[in-house]
Structure 1
Amino acid sequence: MHLLPALCAFWLLPLALALEEDSPLDCVPRRSVPYHRNNAHLFHEKGVFNYSTMLLREDLDLLLLGAREAVYALDLNNISQKLASTECKNYIRILHQTQDNRMFVCGTNAFDPECGYMSYADGNLTLEKKREDGKGKCPFDPFQRYASIMVEPNFVSMAQMPESHMSEEGDDDKVYLFFSETAVECDCYNKLVVSRVARVCKGDLGGQRTLQKKWTSFLKARMDCPVLESQLPYVIQDTYRSCDPHQPWKDCLFYSVFTPQSDTSDLSAVCAYRVSDISRVFAEGKYKTPVPVETSFVKWCINNAARKVGITQTLDLPDRTLQFIKDRPLMDQAIQPIGEKPVLVRKGATFTRIIVNQVQAADGEKYQEGTLLKAVNYDGEMFIIEEVQIFEPPEPIKILKFSNVTGQLYAGSDHGAAQIPLATCGRSSSCIDCVLARDPYCGWDQTLGKCLNLANSQRELIQSVKGGDASLCPHADPVKPMNLTIWLGGNRKLDCPSPSTLAKTSWEREGSPLTPSTRLQLLRDGLLILNATDSDGGRYRCLSVEPSKAHEYTTTVAEYQVSMASAESKDGRLILPQAQKDGPSVAGLQAVVGLLVVSLLALLAWNFYKGHLPLPWNCRKKNREQPQEAHEQGGLNTSVTYQDALRPALAEDKPLVSGTNNGGNNNHTGGEAAFSAAEEENDGPKVVLSSLQYIDDE
């Protein structure tokens, strides 16, 4: 049985580098799904941030979500439903389930970490009043990277391995820790950060005098994840343990995400490590610091041999032994990934978290699967099924959790939490699309004509995860052509959305390949016809050609019957394009035009009522009365209204000048017609037109 590891991590993932065929960088998602509210169930409360701590309580159908100053109990099946919450004036950093089914919770408490216990009953979250010091259990800084574990199967970047199970040596279980630190073994000018894995015995209680309350079994080794020809080692960001419950612990794998420690690279990587390789380095490897030959093989953990000489716990170890351990924690040998190379490298991505799940496909084999960036790795080939944007705007994922009960993935970020299904079969609309997606969750149901989740179907489904062989798919129904009319000299785009980023589109006209030109431009999502001529009419067909390991598949995506129309008919009469009389866009435009007309009429009526505009029958009367009034009152004290000020200027063809006087003298009667509010209160000239600033009599 082959295990096909698949990964997810991850956010802001642009296209990969285009290198040679077998390069790990040549890895493009088959489908890119933009943000949509239906992509995931979302949870967010106004004014609350940093949703970065999660605890799955599948026994209670709860997702416990820790944020800044709050802990929420959410419905595990739909996290947009809040069941309970409690305030906690802390950045919540730790949530663990205890043996008595309570929750152990810790927060930063203004750089003075504090922990306590919390319970959920009858729809209420209750935080017990008794608190304890959180130093050594919880980070001081709310943004500091950290890891924690309570001996149970919950882990982020720590993991417990059951190495005592059926051990002939009576060995203890181990806890593996993944972290990064400045390299103490390198005498470099600049500080060099390296990635580490450390191993500690589960029953380590520290020493009696030396190494009091400190690990006596702590050993660490460097982890390599070689990315191309990088001069600086990549830095580990997150790790996930993947185990087949039917296989021994030595067959487990650790998947780790790495990012560069310099600004000169924008690559991120995922490397996979065998637990057996890591265990072997700690059990059989040499120390970095030289030691006598007779002690070079000694790696301390309480086992049957130690118990025979009376050492049943680490408190019984002699000081000489403890000093030896204290001085030599670092192993000489570095741990290499499977194949001594990454299983996935992406350009422009910043991998933050990783989670792995196993699913049994239709062929009976198990494939390991993830999401956000969902991929399958088989025989060294990394095939990315899809990448999905779940937050808008995009933001880094702070935590990922997976529930075997719901089959859902839970992600937390600064501004909210999301619940995402692993099976997204409904995104495939045809059999070929469904099979070429190579998703182990999905297969094509010929009876229903749908791409379905294997878990939801009792019938045999068409699926080909390894090779993407769609030859068993029934023939698709022919695409119905769409009739289009293009006016001579006009422009028109023929749409052709590609079903896959791995597919290439091509166009045919009247059954022959279409040759691009300056007037016929091939776009990623269609064909653009510019300055159309009579020769552009005919039947157009857009084809999608997508390769897989089995074959190359060609499907028809769109078909158009294009007719050309002229603005003049044969008898000389002018023929203009007919306006579309129905459709949502035309109806909307008509509504807007109607609203504008009503608004204009209302504005005219208001201006007539206020006297800002004269009624038509009053115009002739005012024209007759104006000369006599002007003769009687004179020019200096005349009250100038809108129409009176405008009419002489227009009649005498005198300009209206807005702004400064442009250097003119303007020392004439009526020259300035713009005044402040104080001046308008006096008996001076008035103008009821705010935009009119100068009337030049010349």
Structure 2
Amino acid sequence: MWRFVTLVLLVHLEVSQTGAWRASQPRLQFTHSELVQNGRLLSLSLAAGDMHSLLPDEDGRRLYVAMKDNLLSTSLDDITQNPSKLYWPASPDRIQECLMAGKDPESECANFLRVLQPYNQTHLYVCGTGAFNPRCAFIATSVFLKSERHTLSFGQTECGKGKCPYDPHQKTATAIIDGELYAGISSDFMSRDSAFFRSLGSRHVVRTEQYDSTWLQDAQFVKVASMAETDNPEDDKVYVFFTERAQEAEGAAGKVLYSRVARVCKNDIGGQRSLVNKWSTFQKARMVCSVPGPDGIQTHFDQLQDIFILHDGKDKKNPLIYGLFTTSSDVLNGSAVCVYRMQDVVRVFKGNFYHKEGPEYKWAEFTGKVPYPRPGTCPSSTYGSYRSTREYPDDVIFFSRTHPLMQEAVMPLGGRPLLVRVGVHYKFSRLLVDRVEAVDGQYNVLFIGTDSGLVLKSIHLPKEHGVTQEVTLEQLQVFQNKSPVTTMTLSKRKQWLFVGSAEGVAQLGLFQCELYGQACTECCLARDPYCTWDGHACSPFVPIARRRNARQVGDEVDPLTQCVRQGAALQVEAEQRTMIVAEGNGTYMECLPKSRHAVVTWYKQAGENSAELHQVQSGEQLVVIERGVLIRRAETAHSGVYHCQLEEHGFRWTAVTVRLSVWSPYRALAWSTSNPNPSLDVSQPWYQDVMALIHPSRLQQHCQRLGFRQRRNRKPDQEQTKNPKTADGPRGERHKHEGGGGRGGGRKSRSKPQQRSPRST
């Protein structure tokens, strides 16, 4: 029964959640070699085999790469030009201790850089695992300008405990905010203490409660970000996104994973008598990304993989939060992207608390009295006269310690995922969103990395009643060996996407408009917000005032109408082909549209000069397949003019026109025999090509039936001596085929071949 429900669910996800099934497929696909050949992809191979962070420096035009034992700096314009490395290995003593602890020498007992943050305009703050002894360092960016390779010694580093994990396999999320490092890490050797720290500044180190499962339990951190809630900076908060074991959901089924968002006040310095040097404003809530189903069945994407926060230029306090999720179930293998509004997150933290009376009780809504000031409130002039969290009453601190979980969950926009993929050969791994100014408005373009080395480029088009349709514009094979994408970053100024994996770093152009086609309609049908028809070609859109461009992105507008307004050429030039096939042979007429969203239909002209078209239907000898028309055994009735027509987004055009001639050489030979002055010129190249299509043995048989002899006037190097027993099979078989009337036929010996007539073939 469960398998049946799952199968129905997969079909439901592919069809109803992403619109038509065809629309959920990528419109264009490019292999790694095609991207390189088109000049859209640059690759920098690295031998480290570990790629954790990419940090672009737009002003310095540099890209910094954190990996195993090395910090690399390369050009932001071309990553293959003048890369420079800072070698930072773990100390030999620590490596030996790591090996003695039973750790792996390649994947654990090295210095895996896990923190890469800009500290100021001249320095980076970088931390590494140091063979299970984390170390950190301030690194001047000027060091990469002096020579090709430097080495960072142990004495130039500081203790990284509370800033960097011990275990390189543990997920980490960090951010430097106002000169202080906020880090979600596993902070002990055994990876049992999941914690959220603030360090590096002049204030005391503050962290979550240690070994308290109601706060954090086996957390895998994803993202740290600062958010402004009001116009008063004293109310600013720091949010951390992660996945953890959900205490409130565990039971007979065992471990359950939930994705969470938690927050603390930036001015939180802990309590006076309780929660000393611990967060006194820590709160967390569940983030739901699921597909609602009938009868209350929910398909949950439980594991948070990445977060991208897209700030609106007008309203800094209400950004969109894009979350990338995968499933933890062995039954349903899928990925999804959900979008959340910041105001919905804030509303959840202003709601009710979750509560559990004791070990034997169930989790339920807290219905008692909530102390004042409300737990989670920052000390500021906005909500009261408290100047510090150390001034908070003891009952507020106690409540914060015992009630960190909110009852209500944060739901995505529309109550469902923005994008879903199930039943495919990959899972989503990384996410970036670029807000693009297009001809007809703003669009949010999603770049999604996968665990198979792909990058998907996707947009969402508005439809009726506030519904959007997801359109995957491109599927790009960025890494040749299909290594999982582990990190991505974007350069808005340079219009480059930088992607990291175990193979190295890839530099990918965000768009390549000229590949969409040479006609206005092809450019419009691409629906790429980066591109527009400029009156002559498909080119990158430049938002200049009074520039009149024709481009169609929205789902409700006909691209034909858009191009007509500008007077652009509408007709897409069809490819012309001529094919000749011998009667009885097979042939194949291929039509491969660039767009996988296009519907292919084949038509045949009623006559050479007729405008009447008939749709080609499959029959006994002719089969219409997805990629073309297959003729198994050609007949003269198959001759004619065929048109491959494409239809996409309501626009139809002819992509390929094939003139197919089915020619019977045997009838031509018979005709030439009965005509003393034949017009058949056997010296023409097309005649020789057609004759080459015919199997030699069959041609010889028909020639003999028509009374022709073998040619004697061959060149010496073309003479062949054949054993009559092996050349054409056993002698008895040969006699059987050669029997019957016919001029020069019968049982004449092959040892005395006859001179053939000049018009023989």
| TM-score category, normalised to shorter length | 0.7 to 0.9
Aligned to 1:353: 430
| Aligned twin of 2:56 | 56
Name the counterpart of 2:654: 556
Partner of 2:616: 514
Change (3 A) 1:517 1:105: same
Contact 1:283 1:299 in 2 (8 A): no
**Residue pair 2:270, 2:279 contacting (<8 A) in 1 also:** yes
1:121-520 aligned within 5 A:
121=142, 122-124=145-147, 127=152, 129-151=155-177, 157-164=223-230, 166-167=231-232, 171-189=234-252, 190-228=254-292, 229-230=297-298, 234-250=302-318, 252-289=319-356, 290=366, 292-295=368-371, 298-305=374-381, 309=385, 311-347=386-422, 348=424, 349-363=426-440, 365-371=441-447, 372-377=455-460, 378=462, 379-429=467-517, 430-446=519-535, 448=536, 450-455=537-542, 459-467=547-555, 469-471=558-560, 472-473=562-563, 474-476=569-571, 478-479=573-574, 481-510=576-605, 511-520=613-622
Report the secondary structure of 2:63's partner residue. Answer: strand
CA contact (8 A) 2:305 2:325 kept: yes
> Distance in 2 between the 1:326 and 1:277 partners?
24
Secondary structure of the structure 1 residue equivalent to 2:471: strand
Cα 1:308/1:161, change in 2 over 3 Å: closer
The separation in 2 between residues aligned to 1:297 and 1:517, in whole angstroms, is 80
Q: How much has 1:480 moved relative to structure 2?
A: 5.2
Give the total of aligned pairs: 555
Select the structure of larger CA radius of gyration. 1
Scaled by the length of structure 2, the TM-score of the pair is 0.68
Q: Deviations over 1:167-211 (max 9, x none)?
A: 3xx642111111111111124121111111001111222334432
Q: 2:627 aligns with which of 508, 525, 529?
A: 525
* Cα pair distance change 1:307/1:492, threshold 3 Å: closer
Output the CA distance in 1 between the equivalents of 2:271 and 2:82.
47
Distance 1:181 1:522 in 2: 52
Is residue 235–residue 380 contact of structure 2 (8 Å, CA) maintained in 1?
A: no
Question: Is the 1:24–1:342 contact (alpha carbons within 8 Å) kept by the matching residues of 2?
Answer: no
Other structure's SS at 1:292 match: coil
Partner of 1:86: 86
Q: Distance in 2 between matches of 1:270 and 1:34?
A: 24
What is the correspondence of 1:534-683 to structure 2 with a 5 Å cutoff? 534-546=636-648, 548=649, 552-568=650-666, 569=669, 570-572=671-673, 578=688
Aligned position for 2:752: none
Q: Is the 8 A contact 2:520 2:533 kept in 1?
A: yes
Structure 1, unpaired ranges of 5+: 1-13, 582-698
Mapped contact 2:267–2:379 kept (Cα < 8 A): no
**How far, CA to CA, are the matches of 2:19 and 2:139 in structure 1?**
50
Residue 368 of structure 1: SS of its match in structure 2? Answer: strand
Shift of 1:524: 2.4
- The answer (yes or no) to whether the contact 1:207–1:314 under 8 Å persists in 2 is yes
- 1:16–1:72 CA distance, 2 compared to 1 (3 A): farther
CA gap 1:577/1:93 in 2 versus in 1, 3 angstroms: farther
SS in 2 for 1:370: strand
* Alpha-carbon distance change, 20 to 224 in structure 1, aligned in 2, over 3 angstroms: closer
Residue type of the alignment partner of 2:514: G
C-alpha displacement at 1:106, in angstroms? 0.8
Local SS of the residue matching 2:267? coil
Q: Deviations over 1:529-554 (max 9, x none)?
A: 221111111111111111x2xxx111
Q: What amino acid sits opposite 2:478 in the alignment?
A: I
In the alignment, the residues of structure 1 paired with residue 136 and residue 288 of structure 2 have an alpha-carbon distance, to the nearest angstrom, of 36
Please say which of residues 463-472 and 148-157 is displaced more in the overlay. Answer: 148-157
Identify the residue that residue 19 of structure 1 maps to in structure 2.
Answer: 15
| Aligned equivalents of 1:117, 1:97: Cα separation in 2 | 10
Contact 1:355 1:370 in 2 (8 A): yes
CA contact (8 A) 2:18 2:24 kept: no
Q: Distance in 2 between matches of 1:392 and 1:15?
A: 31
Say if 1:578 and 1:69 are closer, same or farther in 2 by CA, change over 3 A.
Answer: farther
CA 1:198 to 1:374, structure 2 compared with 1: closer, same or farther past 3 Å?
A: same
- CA shift, 1:116, in A, is 0.8
Partners of 1:297 and 1:94 lie apart in 2 by 36
Whether the 8 Å contact between 1:538 and 1:562 is mirrored in structure 2 is: yes
Change (3 A) 1:84 1:456: farther
- One-letter code of the match for 1:533? E
CA RMSD of aligned residues (A): 2.9
Describe the superposition over 1:26-70 as per-residue Cα deviations: whole angstroms up to 9, x where unpaired. Answer: 62222222222244211113x321122111111210110111121
**C-alpha distance 326-478 of structure 1, shift in aligned 2 (>3 A):** closer
With the length of structure 1 as denominator, give the TM-score of the two structures: 0.74
SS in 2 for 1:326: helix
Calculate percent identity across the aligned residue pairs: 29
Contact 2:379 2:389 in 1 (8 A): no
Paired amino acid for 1:106? C
CA distance change for structure 1 residues 484 and 181 in 2, over 3 Å: closer, same or farther?
same
| Residue 216 to residue 380, structure 1, CA distance change in 2 (3 Å) | same
What do residues 284-331 of structure 1 show as CA deviations (whole Å, max 9, x unaligned)? 43344536324287133333359965x423344454432221111111
